[in-house]
Amino acid sequence: MTVELNRSTQHFESDVSQVLDLVVHSLYQDREVFLRELLSNAADACDKLRFDALGDEALLEGESELRVELEISAAQRTLTVRDNGIGMSRDEVTRCLGTIAHSGTREFLNRLSGERQRDSALIGQFGVGFYAAFMVAERVVVYSRRAGLAEDEGVRWESDGRGEFTVEGARVKRRGTEIILHLREDASEYLEVARLRHMVQQHSDHLPLPVLLPSGEKGDGPPERVNRADALWLRRKTEVTDAEYRDFYQHLAHDWEEPAAWVHAQVEGRLEYRLLLYIPKRAPFGLWDRDTRGGVKLYVKRVFITDDAERLLPRWLRFVRGIIDTDDLPLNVSRETLQNHRLLDQIRTAATRRVLTLLGEMAGDDRYPAFWKTFGALLKEGIIEDAGERETLAGLLRFSTTREPEGQVSLATYLERAPEGQKAIYYVTGEGITAARANPQLEIFAARGIEVLLLAEPIDDWLVMHLREFRDLPLVSVAAEDLDVQALPQAADAPGGDPAAEVVDAALCARLKAALGGRVVEVRPSARLTNSPSCLVAADGALTARMQRLLAASGEAPPKQPRVLEVNLAHPLLVALAALTDAPLADGAELLLAQAELVESGRLAEPARFVEVLNRVALRAAANGATTHSEVPLPAGVRLESGPG
């Protein structure tokens, strides 16, 4: 290769410099991951060429056998990784080897735990696998030429990983990419054929193309294939060991952990396809970005087509990793045609059912609690988005409840222990489990011994809008305006303590409503409160307070929702308010509404108004004390009989 002129020296992006410093100084001891990452990148480059060549065979340049080669030079202390894949242009080299997506890098750095083995395994998952080369190399040189470009349009890239890199034009005869690692003094083991063979077979045995390594102890013999180079997903399940399944997952997902579970199926008949799908133990990078690419790759007759086929699995299963391979799609299918191909609908439905069946199996053992903690919110997305799978997904949901605040209770278990005669599944929403448990609307349910679901995640408000029933029983909010409290059953072990008989004339409600003006549509006696003086309930069909905040945060302006204030006429505070004149009663009404707002959402609709009212009440109490004990004079200018705001 003859290097030409037109050289430029550039600085790495700041994020790249952070990663390089981390790789060299922090992850230095767990170094063999570098070869796995470079081989994986080489295999991806070959996959891309194979796909692009379907539409332009000239890209193969007469060399259709795709492979990766390792070459050793003991004299030069270099290890070379060479592929004949798609290659890169000068712009692509500069972009791909000099920058990283900022969000990805920050997430990568945030995920680091300080444990070298785990941290080094994150490299490939975050798309920074190339930089693992600097674990073992003091200098890295890259030659590349994109398929279809002329020999003199190649590029040479070089860096010592200390902040700068150079890019210049080069004459490159063969398409593809060649990475030359000038090894550190303490990395001599990577010049040994036996060591490299072991690393390839341990980490990259399932790459679906040959990895060639020189034969002979000194690496001076002809190249020979050292990996199996077969598609594991095409083999029968009886021919694949659990260890092979786990190793393939770690290669596929760039995950240092083993998978939680997997399903391998070969379907034959009118529609033929093979699938190998994995459930990870931990959340993959980018999981909560709904626009992130899916984790399932599509192959047609062993030819990689795309890893961006949204229709292979629904978006709410984006945590799944794996491969689907079919013979029934044309090899020259375009990505645009792919999104509208009818066969994919059938594959998608079947693959989704396979995953749900696998999750159903996991739900019966000790793997499921960890799965639910990590991925449960995505199954809730499925309830919202996929009506066809709603019934199956409902059986996989898990909830905290008033009986098990930190538990994972299925709806089936909830119904099994419900008292006889219970005609609904009851739930309460709140800003966290603690807030949900403190909701005064639960008091009647506690008195009757009825378990209530605690819904504390923002997505739960949308969940209950779509999951209306389970096993023919409706889901009902404890804050529902039309809740028939008198129809609630009494559990055998209920503690008792239903609301006492009303001791204040219900006419007090009309006075309270008048004092509050139009801020509530109604004030009425409550049958659901046993200990608290007041609570807010949603008028029929109204959005919950949290749903209104969520919509507002997303940029929407929800209409003002009517609210009903319920009061416990047996509570001492209501008894005291009944004896007050209009002005003090108005302040009392304000406090009843404010405390109901605080318990419901942890915030006040009008904080300044609340402070003003609270000051008046405090001064009035102080004045009453001064009148009784002649100790506290009334401050000059204070008018105790002033009304609210």
Residues whose CB falls within 8 Å of the CB of residue 111, separated by 6 or more in sequence, listed in order: 119, 122, 126, 285
* Interval 577-621: pLDDT, tens: 888 888 889 999 999 999 998 888 778 888 898 899 889 888 888
Q: Are residues 520 and 376 in the same domain?
A: no
Sequence-distant contacts of 182-188: CB under 8 A, at least 24 apart: 182/76, 182/77, 182/78, 182/137, 182/138, 182/139, 182/140, 182/141, 183/77, 183/78, 183/79, 183/136, 183/137, 183/138, 184/136, 184/137, 184/138, 187/31, 187/136, 187/137, 188/77
- Residue 184: which of 10, 19, 31 has the closest Cα? 31
What is the pLDDT at residue 545? 65
- When pLDDT is averaged across residues 133-159 and rounded to a whole number, the result is 95
Least-confidence region, from 139-148, 347-356, 478-487: 478-487
Dihedral in degrees, nearest 10, Cα atoms 338, 342, 343, 344: 50
Q: Which residue in the block uniquely carries the two structure tokens 């990283």? A: 100
Q: At 270, is the pLDDT very low, low, confident or very high (cuts 50, 70, 90)?
A: confident
Q: Are residues 263 and 314 in the same domain?
A: yes
* Interval 489-508: pLDDT, tens: 887 777 655 554 455 677 88
- When pLDDT is averaged across residues 519-525 and rounded to a whole number, the result is 89
Pairing of strands 2-3, 211-214: unpaired
User: What six digits make up the tokens of 220?
Assistant: 């001076």
In the predicted structure, residue 635 carries a pLDDT above the cut 50: no
What is the pLDDT at residue 103? 38
* Interval 532-565: pLDDT, tens: 999 988 766 566 666 666 666 666 666 667 788 9
Q: Are residues 264 and 157 in the same domain?
A: no
Q: Is residue 419 part of a domain?
A: yes
What is the pLDDT at residue 645? 38
Q: Are residues 474 and 578 in the same domain?
A: yes
- When pLDDT is averaged across residues 329-355 and rounded to a whole number, the result is 77
Tell me, what CATH number does 85's domain have? 3.30.565.10
Q: At 567, is the pLDDT very low, low, confident or very high (cuts 50, 70, 90)?
A: very high
Q: Is residue 115 part of a domain?
A: yes
What is the pLDDT at residue 2? 43
Q: Are residues 262 and 363 in the same domain?
A: yes
- When pLDDT is averaged across residues 237-253 and rounded to a whole number, the result is 89
* pLDDT cut 70: percent of the chain above it: 82
Q: At 168, is the pLDDT very low, low, confident or very high (cuts 50, 70, 90)?
A: very high
- When pLDDT is averaged across residues 206-222 and rounded to a whole number, the result is 86
Q: Is residue 630 part of a domain?
A: no
Q: Is residue 634 part of a domain?
A: no
* Interval 282-324: pLDDT, tens: 888 777 776 666 689 888 877 777 776 677 899 999 999 999 9
- When pLDDT is averaged across residues 51-70 and rounded to a whole number, the result is 92
Q: What rounded mean pLDDT belongs to the chain?
A: 83
Q: Are residues 137 and 152 in the same domain?
A: yes
Question: Please, are residues 71 and 79 in contact by the beta-carbon 8 Å criterion?
Answer: yes
Q: At 479, is the pLDDT very low, low, confident or very high (cuts 50, 70, 90)?
A: confident
Q: Are residues 254 and 316 in the same domain?
A: yes
Burial class of residue 299, CB neighbours in 10 A (0-12, 13-18, 19+): buried
Q: Are residues 199 and 125 in the same domain?
A: yes
What is the pLDDT at residue 540? 61
Q: Is residue 425 part of a domain?
A: yes
In the predicted structure, residue 1 carries a pLDDT above the cut 50: no
586, 602, 618 - which closes a domain: 602
User: What six digits make up the tokens of 280?
Assistant: 């990870």
Structural domain boundaries, residue 52? 2-227
Report DSSP letters for 154-176, one per residue. Answer: EEEEEE-SSSEEEEEEEE-SSSE
* Interval 349-377: pLDDT, tens: 999 999 999 999 999 899 999 999 999 99
What is the pLDDT at residue 85? 96
Q: Is residue 610 part of a domain?
A: no
Tell me, what CATH number does 543's domain have? 3.40.50.11260
Coil, helix or strand for 224? strand
Among the residues of 56-192, which ranges form H helices?
Answer: 90-98, 102-111, 116-125
Q: Are residues 297 and 210 in the same domain?
A: no
The total number of structural domains that make up the chain: 3
Least-confidence region, from 453-462, 471-480, 548-557: 548-557
Q: Are residues 210 and 124 in the same domain?
A: yes
Tell me, what CATH number does 257's domain have? 3.30.230.80
Q: Is residue 199 part of a domain?
A: yes
209, 227, 245 - which closes a domain: 227
Q: At 91, is the pLDDT very low, low, confident or very high (cuts 50, 70, 90)?
A: very high
Q: Is residue 608 part of a domain?
A: no
- When pLDDT is averaged across residues 162-184 and rounded to a whole number, the result is 94
User: What six digits make up the tokens of 336?
Assistant: 């645009």
- For 12-48, letters b (16+ CB in 10 Å) and e give beebbebbbebbbeebbebbbbbbbbbbbbbbbbbbb
Q: Are residues 469 and 592 in the same domain?
A: yes
227, 262, 286 - which closes a domain: 227
Q: At 424, is the pLDDT very low, low, confident or very high (cuts 50, 70, 90)?
A: very high
Measured between alpha carbons, how far is 21 from 39 in angstroms, rounded to an integer? 22
More confident of the two residues 188 and 504: 188
Q: Are residues 175 and 253 in the same domain?
A: no
